[in-house]
Amino acid sequence: MFIDEARVKLRAGNGGHGCVSFRREKYLPKGGPDGGDGGDGGAVILECDENVSDLRQYHFTPHWEAKNGRGGQGSGKDGKNGADRILKVPPGTVVVDNRLETIACELLAHGERLTLLKGGRGGWGNTRFKTSVNRAPRQFKEGEPGQRGEYTFILKTLADVAAVGFPNAGKSTLVGMLTAAAPKTAAYPFTTIHPNVGVVTFDDSAERLTLADIPGLIEGAHANRGLGHRFLRHIERCHVVLHLVDMAGVDDRDPREDYRVLRDELERYDPAVAAKPHFVGANKMDEPAARENLAAFRAAYPDVYVVPVSCLLEEGLGPLKEHMLREVRRVRAELDEAAAEERVAQPADGEEGAR
């Protein structure tokens, strides 16, 4: 079972109460106050971990709490701080605050940590209230409550290339052939009900890229028909979109219309997703009508880069991998250039602010 969305209730630890205590030792009749402070409550911390694949643990266990701080004790002993609760989530997780209906944070890089809820501060013991005129204070301060909230964790797949197409276009078969992933394949539509991500390697290069098999889209996916939003959101973080189009024209389908519908669904869902670099994998070229359909497709879309492939005969996979790598390299170079420009610009902004 693959879970890409989970609602959780989280609570940070409460701070421990301060202690009211007085030294009572032999020969020290006026020992004075010695109540210790309470310990701080533990925080709720999110940690991005690439070894976590989905959100199933939060689906089945939606309540998580950090430990409370211990109360202070006599003899000046402060209470122990409560342990933090560290929640590991996969890269690409978006955290939505259900009360505010806003995005609280996003975790993308492995090892990234973020404190979502802070623990309550421990209270003061009566030692803190001792003054020259109040030598036997009985005041103390209670610990503060920890923060709490209800959130929705949403996973958006992180991959270099997203394979998008209609059901039974051959996406799972392609991902299974190009990577070590083993998605379910069968001769009927909707065999894939959750994204599968595999790593594509190259014999003549140490480079590699990740390829995601996005569950089949249908017309109306932008309006959430057929769980469209749940599937479409996994394309948002991918760098390149591979439209896998069935060129066989089975059941009187027109590959040109299939491509048009796919592009329209992405545009209606999010123009930024539709604007991503994309190309077409013309699958099932082993079928009799495929060559004629491919010629008509190229005539209708002369500006679209098309790579003919046949997963059945394992033909065209090499050129397909090479073009994926070229596109991913180009996007990575653009991202690196933008990041470098941002790093250069930041000191200049700081200097201008200082002046």
pLDDT value, residue 153: 96
Q: Which residue, among 84, 64, 55, 60, has the nearest Cα to 148 in the 3D structure?
A: 64
Is residue 114 predicted with pLDDT exceeding 60? yes
Is residue 327 predicted with pLDDT exceeding 80? yes
pLDDT value, residue 348: 53
Task: List CB contacts of 313: < 8 A, sequence separation 6 or more.
Answer: 286
Is residue 227 predicted with pLDDT exceeding 60? no
Structure tokens at 353: 């602010």
Q: Which residue, among 161, 203, 109, 163, has the nearest Cα to 331 in the 3D structure?
A: 161
Domains of the chain: 5-24+31-155 (2.70.210.12), 161-338 (3.40.50.300)
Paired sense of beta strands 93-97 and 148-155, if any:
antiparallel
Helix ranges (H only) for the chain are 56-60, 171-178, 228-232, 255-269, 271-274, 290-300, 317-354
Least confident of 190-204, 205-219, 331-345: 190-204
The whole-number average pLDDT for the span 94-123 is: 94
Is residue 353 predicted with pLDDT exceeding 50? no
Is residue 105 predicted with pLDDT exceeding 90? yes
Dihedral angle of Cα 6, 11, 13, 15, to the nearest 10 degrees: 160
Is residue 234 predicted with pLDDT exceeding 90? no
pTM value is 0.73
- What are the tens digits of pLDDT across the range 260-273? 999 999 999 999 99
pLDDT value, residue 33: 92
The whole-number average pLDDT for the span 320-326 is: 93
**Residue 219's pLDDT band (boundaries 50, 70, 90)?**
low
Is 168 in a helix, a strand, or coil? coil
pLDDT value, residue 224: 54
- What are the tens digits of pLDDT across the range 30-68? 788 999 999 999 999 999 998 888 898 999 999 999 999
- What are the tens digits of pLDDT across the range 240-287? 999 999 999 877 889 999 999 999 999 999 999 999 999 999 999 999
Least confident of 16-25, 28-37, 193-202, 203-212: 193-202
The answer to whether the beta carbons of residues 9 and 150 sit under 8 Å apart is: yes
The whole-number average pLDDT for the span 173-181 is: 83
Is residue 188 predicted with pLDDT exceeding 90? no
pLDDT value, residue 180: 74
pLDDT averaged over the chain? Answer: 87
**Residue 222's pLDDT band (boundaries 50, 70, 90)?**
low
Cα→Cα distances 11→83, 146, 340, Å: 12, 7, 39
